Copies of this chain bind each other. A is one copy, B any other.
Amino acid sequence: MAPVRGFFYPRTPTGRAALVPPPPWHYSGDLLTVEYRTDPAKVAALLPAPLLPAEQDPGAVALIWADWQSCSADGRQLLDPVLAQYKECFAVVRCRFEGRTYSRCVYIWVDKDFAIARGIHQGYPKKLGSIHQTRPHPHGPAPRLAPGARFGATLAAADRRLAEAVLTLEEQSDTGGFVNGHPMAHHRWLPGIAKDAPDTVAELISSGAAAFEGGPIWRGSAELRLFPSPVEELAELTVEEPIGAYYQQIGVVWDGGTVLTPRA
């Protein structure tokens, strides 16, 4: 029978219809990061074995908005930008595995299907959401990247607002925060197809950027509000203490990861 091709479904003789092309995946985007401390027990409760809480500042959380244009190595999606542009908002905590510190995305919402598919591959727990963030612009009322500029960011899913932030830039900074700065440690889970069967996949993997470039990092202060929903738990990560807030324009390449343990 025929071989079929395609990195992600559907797989066909040509692979042309595949929802995502094979890595490397290239990204241009703006990151708006708000870091804060919540009750460390709430972070720990989201870390399944064999993960352990981070040793330092185990209640630290980063809620990050990103406005992306992404593409395969040949860049073709950029010229049909409905296939390249998406936005996301995600919550990151830290954890430890075999003595090393990792970042871990515990919640994430995106607004395109190809982003969901990449998330399933990478172990990001993606849902669809409606994500907005103010874009810097050189003219008119939108903010420049300069002291005092203010950026809004919002997240909704299933017709409910889940989070909103306003970031005021203060000055350039050497750091963009520490919570999302490690390799990611993610579970890739696929439930067994038979009723009540164990997971077919329960793999702990790690991945990070294969290449990175970035402009100046701006540091500032943020107001952040989280709202409850009957079908979400983001608001359980209550804001107990602000840490910092950051804005940066970046380019990044993702090109695969490694298995930490095939059955976590």
Contact = CB atoms under 8 A, between A and B. Distances in A.
A194 B259 contact: yes
Contacts of A232: 16-17
Q: Assembly of this chain: how many copies?
A: 4
Contacts of A214: 139
A112 B128 contact: yes
Interface string A145-183: 000001111101011110010100000000000000000
Interface stretch (A39-47, A54-62, A238-246): A39-47
A83 interface: yes
A236 to B, nearest CB: 8
Interface string A126-151: 11101011110111111100000011
A220 to B, nearest CB: 14
Interface string A211-237: 001110000000000000011111000
A128 B114 CA distance: 9
Contacts of A140: 26-29, 69, 213, 250-252
Contacts of A158: 80, 82-83
Nearest to A124: B9
Interface in A1-55: 1-4, 7-14, 16-17, 19, 23, 26-29, 44-52
A94 interface: no
A207 interface: yes
Given A28-B139, A152-B81, A200-B201, A188 B188 contact: no
A58 to B, nearest CB: 12
A153 B140 CA distance: 22
Contact of A79 (B17, B23, B123, B152): B152
Nearest to A5: B48
Given A1-B48, A81-B154, A132-B82, A141 B71 contact: yes
Given A12-B45, A80-B152, A113-B128, 17 more contacts: A1-B44, A4-B48, A7-B191, A8-B191, A11-B189, A28-B141, A29-B140, A78-B141, A78-B143, A79-B151, A81-B132, A81-B153, A85-B135, A130-B159, A138-B215, A193-B257, A193-B259
Interface of A: 1-4, 7-14, 16-17, 19, 23, 26-29, 44-52, 69-71, 75, 78-85, 106-107, 112-113, 116, 120-123, 125-128, 130, 132-135, 137-143, 150-154, 156, 158-161, 164, 166, 187-191, 193-197, 200-201, 203, 205, 207, 213-215, 230-234, 249-252, 255-259
